[in-house]
Amino acid sequence: MKQWIALATVAAFSMGAYAQSFPGTKPVAIVVPFAAGGPTDRVARDLAEAMRKQIPGSNFVVENTVGAGGTIGANRVARAAPDGHTLLLFHIGMAATPALYRKLSYKPLEDFEFLGMVNDVPMTLVGKPQLPANTYRDFENYIRANAGKLNIAHAGLGSASHICSLLWQSNLQSKEAMTTIPFNGTGPAMTALIGGQVDMMCDQTTGTTAQIEGGRIKAFAVTTAKPLSTHPVLKYYPSLQEMGMKNFNLTIWHGLYAPKGTPPAVTKMLNDALKKVLKDPDFIKKNEALGALVVNDKRVEPEEHKKFVAAEMIKIKAAVDAAGKYAD
């Protein structure tokens, strides 16, 4: 018994000493499970820069590990050494992948330490410039009149645009579903939309705002509960709730995670740094420029972050099961 207590004491002391020296000279990798240049990658790079300022001597870097709707990158972090040097920045896909991938190699609620939410990114329903509709109501009527003839692009299974398109179509209750066209990332999907090769897409404001402002695509609605009345570009578009989709409220939130078993002192240090980042005027300004809002509610706390993800998992699973289309 004494030997067990002694070993436990040594282990606790070692973990405490490690936490005090964290992160040392070793870089902290923020793994983005999507391609470089996409919306989540943009958020991660701004976050890495801001975290460096909050933990003196640290070197936060972004590493892109792409594929399978974000699950390859997430699995990499779930299986990484729990030392705080490998983190995951994932969007709503953290809650969607268990519904889309029924044989997922990790468990989102069990294999990670939750470090807090970062931001909420509204979505926009957009169409190719050649569409005859100019308002959401005209757009909806056009879809119903051309049931079965239209397509909707997304950035790959499990992507933000895929999840949004699923939830929107489920609420639309069109006579015939649109043909979904997956792309390998947001960039190629947006290029196809601008060029008129696809009809529509539902994607994050981080990727659509500049294209809307430049007149390269048409916007019809936002997915938040209320219109984005203070946004310089998107304030002119209604919310889907206003247009009759009861209780429709979707943002593509981002959260930060570490492998399960990361020492509590390290997760606390990372959470404390994140809270300071979320009050950093420069970080807030960069998010606002992307059409994103930094989280300033109780979801910055790890426990509340986890509860929020669990609730989102239930909501998304219902939509995926209703569509009956899975990734595996």
Q: Do the domain assignments include residue 283?
A: yes
- Residue-wise pLDDT for 197-215, tens only, equals 999 999 988 889 999 999 9
Residue 149 shares a structural domain with residue 217: yes
pLDDT at 217: 98
Residue 79 shares a structural domain with residue 172: no
Per-residue pLDDT at 92 exceeds 80: yes
Q: Do the domain assignments include residue 272?
A: yes
287, 294 in Cβ contact below 8 A?
yes
Residue, of 3 and 130, whose pLDDT is higher = 130
Report pTM.
Answer: 0.82
Residue, of 319 and 182, whose pLDDT is higher = 182
Residue 216 belongs to what domain range? 123-236
Question: What is the average pLDDT across 49-75?
Answer: 95
- Residue-wise pLDDT for 237-291, tens only, equals 999 999 999 889 899 899 999 999 999 999 999 999 999 999 999 999 998 877 7
Rounded to 10°, the helix 39-54/281-289 angle is 170
Structural domains of the chain, count:
2
For residues 201-226, b (16+ Cβ closer than 10 Å) or e, as one string? Answer: bbbbbbbbbbbbeeebbbbbbbbbee
Cis amide linkage into residue 23, ω under 30° from 0: yes
Which residue in the block uniquely carries the two structure tokens 């972004």? Answer: 62
Identity of the residue numbered 314: I
Residue 144 shares a structural domain with residue 74: no
Identity of the residue numbered 247: N
33, 72 in Cβ contact below 8 A?
yes
Q: Which tokens belong to 181?
A: 């066209």
Which residue in the block uniquely carries the two structure tokens 């009809």? Answer: 199
